[in-house]
Structure 1
Amino acid sequence: MDIIAVTRHGKVRGRSEGGVAAFLGIPYAAPPFGDHRFRAPAPVTPWDGVRDAVAFGPTAPKRPYRPPLDRLLPDPDIPGDDCLNLNVWTPGVDEAGLPVMVWIHGGSLRNGSASLPLYDGRAFARDGVVLVSINYRLGVEGFGVFPDAPDNRGLLDQIAALTWVRDNIAGFGGDAGNVTVFGESAGAISIAALLGSPRAEGLFHRAVLQSGPPHTVSRAEGAKTVALMAKELGVPATAAAFAGVGREALLDAQVEVTGKGDPISGGPGFQIVTDGDVVPAEPRPPAVELLLGANLEEYRLWFVPSGAVDRISGLTLRLAMLKFKIPGRIGRLYRAARPGAKPGEILGALATDLLLRGPVNRLADASAKAYVYEFGWRSPVLSLGACHALEIGFVFDTLDRGRELTGPDAPQPLADAMHGAWVEFARTGDPGWAAWDASRPVMVFDGEHDGVVHAPRQEELEVWL
């Protein structure tokens, strides 16, 4: 059944089915091309009549994940310029005062979109939440650092989308005074930056960070990827020069420069930069309630399908520890706790705690009120274990849409528990377990013995705090 909602820019037509209304591909800013390319997001041009919102809108320019991740992480590509769009799932436009959740997808700031089937918002709407998912500019278009363009354009897109939510969500039954942002990986890293940004103040009231810690770099560091791309393209490292390069050629150069890196082992990529404006040098401490955590074996998404977990030798492990200035006693501590583990598994565990678990705990320590979780259910697919991104289908209650990672027999009761906790946090600010304090309570979701563990693996964690 068709259903109409009213926004400040015009009416939109969605579809209602099974008690949930979906509005897809609604623009929240002008297409970021032509005169708007490499600029801050511009306002939407209002429209007359009723605009169809029954299909996902264009995705930001990107390329698929490189093999073998492309088989595990499907990444739909929908062509078109109007890529600054969002989707809304709601119990009904005649509702009022419902909690709102806004999903910011991950993908290393160069992959992903809001149109993944895994991110379908029907389960949230079914349970009384208005779910919004957003697209934002990726890669060099969104996060390339230039001397003649605003920094963090993808982050500015996210702020523009949150501003749209503030101004329009009441027309979809939502409460603009009860907005929870949540995201995974690069989406969570983005949220960590938004927590300290004066530009985002008042646009959300709670935040969920899944497997993504606070992380920014200097402008000089962020500009290195653009410099490498400029060399590849044979043009100056300016926005004006890059705007003259065709979209496909720009993506070719982006893949060439960044294609061999990953979040664990590093390499050229795109980062949020400290620009003194959107991301100040001294960000505000988190002033909202937080739910945050990580997966037990984050590293396995990159180390196992690629075969790196088997290629990493004891020598490689020692060299990596020297590079990251990790004392030998810490390596011995991790080996003692993992008898029989391969050098690649030891390195992955060290990297997970250095890059994720330690920063997550530090953010919880710095927050006024936080709840911490750990996801520990192990996927049987390719021995991925409790890898990065595995928890998303459980949070969205879309296990039938994410079998590439989970396999066919993922436990529905675990999805019920995680999804329910996220809904309750959005509704009340309390996901159902004790808030973070000196005893370090962590809610462990593993599908067998779900429950709170105080200070898990504290001896290892202390070396990163």
Structure 2
Amino acid sequence: MIDPIDRRGLLAGAAASLSLAASPSFAGPRDDTGVQARTNAGRIRGFRDRDVAVFKGVPYGADTAQTRFAAPKPPRPWRGVRPCLDFGAPAPQPGGNPGAGYLPDSAYTQDQTSEDCLNLNLWTPALDGAKRPVLVWFHGGGFSGWSANSPLYDGANLAKWGDAVVITVNHRLNAFGYLYLGQLGGERFADSGNAGMLDLVLALQWIRDNIEAFGGDPGRVSLFGQSGGGAKASVLMAMPAARGLFHRVMTMSGQQVTVTPAEMATTAARKFLTNAAVESPDALLTMSKDQLIAATRGVSTGPVLDGRSLTRDPFEPDATPVSRDVALIMGNTHDETRYLIGLDEPALSNLTWDELLPALKRSIPNFFGPLTPESAVVWYRDKHPAYSPSQIFFAMTTELRSWRAQIIQADRRAVQPGANTWVYQFDWQSPVLDGRMGAPHCGDIPFMFRNHREMVSMTGGGPETDAVADAMSSALINFARTGDPNGAGVPAWPKYELPGRVTMQWNTVSKATPDPRGEERRLVGLIPYRQPGT
């Protein structure tokens, strides 16, 4: 099985696009007359789309080729009016399109990526100083791939419907953002292990300083992100440098209990140097981005416990006190691995009983802890006698591999004095690909963004999706406005507290249920946990 972090990295090309042309259902000619705003670096020009003002590729930082492996710098000011009509370059990363058939088909080539990648995209109903809530999206792909430029993340529908400002952010990834060279190269490289996180801090500082010009409220900034994007938000919750730059967080299938210890990150850096055929980190400063991408082969990178940006793990041994007062929603999908594992292996949807154990041992060999695969299968067959072998496979791989971290974070937040936390479970079953995706990883994104009708490859685009989107996006907008998801359009949703563990189950009829997978939660609680890749 591919390591979860590396698997998400391999999805790099699936949702990284440089143009909404990849999604023809987003229609309408754009009007770029008179849509201008002033930033602290200079004036920019955008366009109107579906009655919202749009600015794409807005620079929030300077070209990182000039600050490779170091903290980012603000953009250089410009004269005149800078056009911000098209997406900026994504960060360097391996290419490909492994999400084909489910996620929007939006592959890109390596020459379309750039180290000049500190850019953001912004949608706002009006440039009127109205102080709307601000929703800042961090894209998936672990810490190694993807882009903010996917049509899946188009913010026009959400901004218009929710009367909010929506922002998506590009930043450094993989070795460019998280290769820890501090113990090998000295002070010049002290921030290298968390450069990508420092990019996000700089983006949040840009939002704080500029968002009023775009009709946003710097005092109501909400982070939301899925998979790696949720993990990035979780890490920011533990970073003192990010303190006060955001006020609420929603993570979607993206928990991050621990980060990489410095010694482990240094071992990965040594392997990177070997791959690059150099002895000193200084030699990396003059290599091409393509050479560096080639050297990432087999090297896992992510945020590092470097003693500078991060002095403790986000949720180990307890929930970070840095963001105790930041309201938090966290959620997972019921069938995470129907996408993460099953998309590329359709045969897993038709397993026999004889094939089940070999498939489990191949797919999640390191997630059983004191259990054996044989005993776990016996347990699942006893608890779910109507399940087929494939249903057991996806339930077990989801709960042992993908759900465990959320339980830890939610329970630790529940006992933190003064912390407000809500938990959801996405249960809606997608009809696409003959229904074999279930409620998969990434399945909740179109509904939060209100792109459920456009993302036909993920949702089918039918009218029954409206009820799901209305409830989910209403909760997001309520949360962004007040710090509480309850309100118009949302069933009563109690906070997540022990021992009740009330969880909102999103579906065509959504409802809050106490501990909906309590038996499974108790089972996975027997297994010691360490964040994959750390």
Match of 2:330 among 288, 292, 297: 292
Match of 2:513 among 442, 445, 453: 453
After superposing the two structures, state which structure 1 stretch, 72-81 or 245-254, moved more.
72-81
Q: How does 1:93-242 map to 2 (within 5 A)?
A: 93-126=127-160, 127-146=162-181, 147-148=184-185, 149=189, 150=191, 151-215=193-257, 216-236=259-279, 238-242=280-284
Q: How does 1:41-440 map to 2 (within 5 A)?
A: 41-65=72-96, 67=98, 69-73=99-103, 74-75=105-106, 77=108, 78-126=112-160, 127-146=162-181, 147-148=184-185, 149=189, 150=191, 151-215=193-257, 216-236=259-279, 238-254=280-296, 256-257=297-298, 269-281=300-312, 284-285=320-321, 286-287=323-324, 288-307=326-345, 309=348, 313-315=356-358, 317=360, 320=364, 324-328=368-372, 329-339=375-385, 341=387, 345-367=391-413, 368-382=419-433, 383-409=436-462, 411-432=465-486, 433-438=493-498, 439-440=500-501
SS in 2 for 1:2: coil
| Separation in 1, partners of 2:384, 2:106 | 35
CA contact (8 A) 2:172 2:199 kept: yes
CA contact (8 A) 1:76 1:113 kept: no
| Separation in 2, partners of 1:143, 1:339 | 45
Letter in 1 for 2:140: G
SS in 2 for 1:133: strand
Unaligned residue ranges in structure 1 (runs of 5+) = 258-267
| Separation in 2, partners of 1:219, 1:401 | 43
Instruction: Label 1:322 to 1:100 Cα distance change in 2 as closer, same or farther (>3 A).
Output: closer
- Cα displacement (A) at 1:213: 1.0
Deviation readout 1:203-232 (Å, 9 max, x if unpaired): 000000000112412123234444334333
- Cα displacement (A) at 1:461: 0.3
| Separation in 2, partners of 1:18, 1:313 | 49
Deviation readout 1:24-64 (Å, 9 max, x if unpaired): 1111110110x311211012111111111111111111233
**What residue in structure 2 maps to residue 260 of structure 1?**
none
CA contact (8 A) 1:434 1:441 kept: yes
| Separation in 1, partners of 2:368, 2:178 | 26
SS in 2 for 1:399: coil
Letter in 2 for 1:7: T
- Cα displacement (A) at 1:390: 1.1
Instruction: Label 1:84 to 1:463 Cα distance change in 2 as closer, same or farther (>3 A).
Output: same
Deviation readout 1:126-150 (Å, 9 max, x if unpaired): 1211111100111111112223322
After superposing the two structures, state which structure 1 stretch, 348-357 or 174-183, moved more.
348-357
- Cα displacement (A) at 1:429: 1.5
Instruction: Label 1:31 to 1:321 Cα distance change in 2 as closer, same or farther (>3 A).
Output: closer
**How many aligned residue pairs are there?**
450
SS in 1 for 2:91: coil
- Cα displacement (A) at 1:197: 1.1
**What residue in structure 2 maps to residue 24 of structure 1?**
56
After superposing the two structures, state which structure 1 stretch, 227-236 or 92-101, moved more.
227-236
- Cα displacement (A) at 1:295: 0.2
- Cα displacement (A) at 1:84: 0.3
**What residue in structure 1 maps to residue 70 of structure 2?**
39
| Separation in 2, partners of 1:399, 1:228 | 43
| Separation in 2, partners of 1:211, 1:133 | 18
Deviation readout 1:287-311 (Å, 9 max, x if unpaired): 2101111000101112212227368
CA contact (8 A) 2:174 2:302 kept: no
| Separation in 1, partners of 2:67, 2:366 | 45
CA contact (8 A) 1:30 1:43 kept: yes
CA contact (8 A) 2:56 2:121 kept: yes
Q: TM-score, normalised on structure 2?
A: 0.79
CA contact (8 A) 1:414 1:446 kept: yes
- Cα displacement (A) at 1:97: 1.6
**What residue in structure 1 maps to residue 15 of structure 2?**
none
CA contact (8 A) 2:453 2:465 kept: no
- Cα displacement (A) at 1:20: 0.8
Instruction: Label 1:142 to 1:415 Cα distance change in 2 as closer, same or farther (>3 A).
Output: same
| Separation in 1, partners of 2:455, 2:93 | 21
| Separation in 2, partners of 1:121, 1:304 | 29
| Separation in 1, partners of 2:101, 2:52 | 30
Instruction: Label 1:314 to 1:81 Cα distance change in 2 as closer, same or farther (>3 A).
Output: closer
| Separation in 2, partners of 1:243, 1:344 | 48
CA contact (8 A) 1:99 1:130 kept: yes
Instruction: Label 1:380 to 1:252 Cα distance change in 2 as closer, same or farther (>3 A).
Output: farther
CA contact (8 A) 1:95 1:173 kept: yes
State whether structure 2 residue 58 is matched by structure 1 residue 5: no
CA contact (8 A) 2:96 2:107 kept: no
Unaligned residue ranges in structure 2 (runs of 5+) = 1-32, 315-319, 414-418, 487-492, 526-534
**What residue in structure 2 maps to residue 264 of structure 1?**
none
Instruction: Label 1:128 to 1:218 Cα distance change in 2 as closer, same or farther (>3 A).
Output: same
Instruction: Label 1:144 to 1:338 Cα distance change in 2 as closer, same or farther (>3 A).
Output: farther
Instruction: Label 1:145 to 1:341 Cα distance change in 2 as closer, same or farther (>3 A).
Output: farther
**What residue in structure 2 maps to residue 262 of structure 1?**
none
Instruction: Label 1:143 to 1:80 Cα distance change in 2 as closer, same or farther (>3 A).
Output: closer
| Separation in 2, partners of 1:440, 1:79 | 43
Deviation readout 1:246-271 (Å, 9 max, x if unpaired): 222322343x42xxxxxxxxxx5322
**What residue in structure 2 maps to residue 444 of structure 1?**
505
CA RMSD of aligned residues (A): 2.4
| Separation in 1, partners of 2:78, 2:334 | 48
